[in-house]
Amino acid sequence: MEKTEALSGSTNRPVRVIEFLGQAWAWLFLLALIVIFSITGQGFFSLFNFQSIGANMAIIMIMALGQTFVIIAGGIDLSTGFVMGMASVFGAMAMTSWIDPTTTPLPLVVLVGLVAGVGAGMVAGLINGWLIARLQVPPFIVTLGMLGISRGAGFLFSGGMPVPVKVEGLGQLGNGYLLYYHANTGLTFLSPGPGLSGADLRQLVGILPHPLTLMIVLVLICHWVLSRTKFGLYTYAIGGNREAALRAGIPVERHTISIYLLSASLAAMAGVLYNMRFTNGAANAGDALLLDSIAAVVIGGASMFGGEGTIIGTLIGALLIAVIQNGLVILAINPFWQFIAVGIVIILAVLVDRARAKVVK
């Protein structure tokens, strides 16, 4: 390390400091926010609150995972918000009316919901990918069109109303924890210890809410795929120089289709997670989440021109947004300030990135 630094010559101390800040500013900013909110906000610094931040950001983060691949490959997927909503409608309808949820075991009900929701999402993703890769229609246009199509499809199939999911135990699953701890029963897996009731339940501690666990698993998988596999490398190559990727023999068309398929599938999975968390499906469930998920990717250092970005960066971006939203709520600040705060952070992120690029060059 020392040797290479010395050889490159131009890497002197101030440059290194700025480069470090350019990479670490989001971590430092996140840390500063957590410290500030912990001091000023009652109940911010607690296991319960941190876990609820995690559970609340899961849906946005899962959408942002797919978006990270898309943006690194030099595209954009504007349709994820309504694909997520459409998937939640299909998931809700499948779980309640395609099968009889009273006689079907819960895991099977969830599976049917997943197949229906993700299936619907995959159709949207395939159409996106095919139009972008084969017919070379700009991603912005294709996915803007798909935004409208999935929005309309979601509302048409749901009759314009939220679809309630009356399935025994589904809500507990969507809002449950992987582990429970109580002084009397110790650590138990998936459900509270036996014999707890009334006052005991108030001292029950849930550890790892299911949405958070699912999110962590998906984050780890996506991080591994993006940073270690050919699939990840090709994503960067296509975003960096599509022509070079083509000449190197990379299957650019097939890969582009896969990426939009992945993005839509993850958004659809977020839709089914929404079913389980809120026990309904709604065509506009993801309407407000699209921009937050893109914001997470951008704050995380991805370039809108493609070729740059990481899953860890996106995770920090999503964490920043979630912490800002949660902290402002705890401080009882008018919720409209959340939009302004997140907006400022997005612009800040791009400014920091540009300053870093200038210095490095």
The footprint of other proteins (CB under 8 A) covers 4, 7-9, 228-230, 233, 236-237, 239-241, 243-245, 247-250, 307-308, 360-361
User: At 179, which helix (H) or strand (E)?
Assistant: strand 177-182
Minimum distance from CB of 131 to other proteins (Å)? 24
User: Which ranges in 9-163 belong to alpha helices (H)?
Assistant: 13-40, 47-72, 80-93, 106-133, 139-158
* Closer CB to other proteins, 4 or 42, in the complex: 4
Minimum distance from CB of 149 to other proteins (Å)? 33
Environment class of residue 170 by beta-carbon count within 10 Å: exposed (0-12), middle (13-18) or buried (19+)?
buried
Minimum distance from CB of 11 to other proteins (Å)? 9
What does the alpha-carbon distance between residue 164 and residue 167 come to, in Å, rounded to a whole number? 9
Assigned token pair, 263: 């993005």
* Alpha carbon 350 to its chain's center: 20
Residue type, 6: A
What does the alpha-carbon distance between residue 98 and residue 104 come to, in Å, rounded to a whole number? 11
* Closer CB to other proteins, 166 or 230, in the complex: 230
Minimum distance from CB of 241 to other proteins (Å)? 5
Query: Measuring CA to CA, which residue among 274, 272, 283, 278 is closest to residue 118?
Result: 272
* Closer CB to other proteins, 144 or 250, in the complex: 250
* Closer CB to other proteins, 8 or 197, in the complex: 8
Minimum distance from CB of 290 to other proteins (Å)? 26
* 300-335 burial code (b ≥16 CB/10 A, e <16): bbbbeebbbbbbbbbbbbbbbbbbbbbbbebeeeee
* Closer CB to other proteins, 165 or 245, in the complex: 245
* Closer CB to other proteins, 97 or 227, in the complex: 227
Minimum distance from CB of 142 to other proteins (Å)? 24
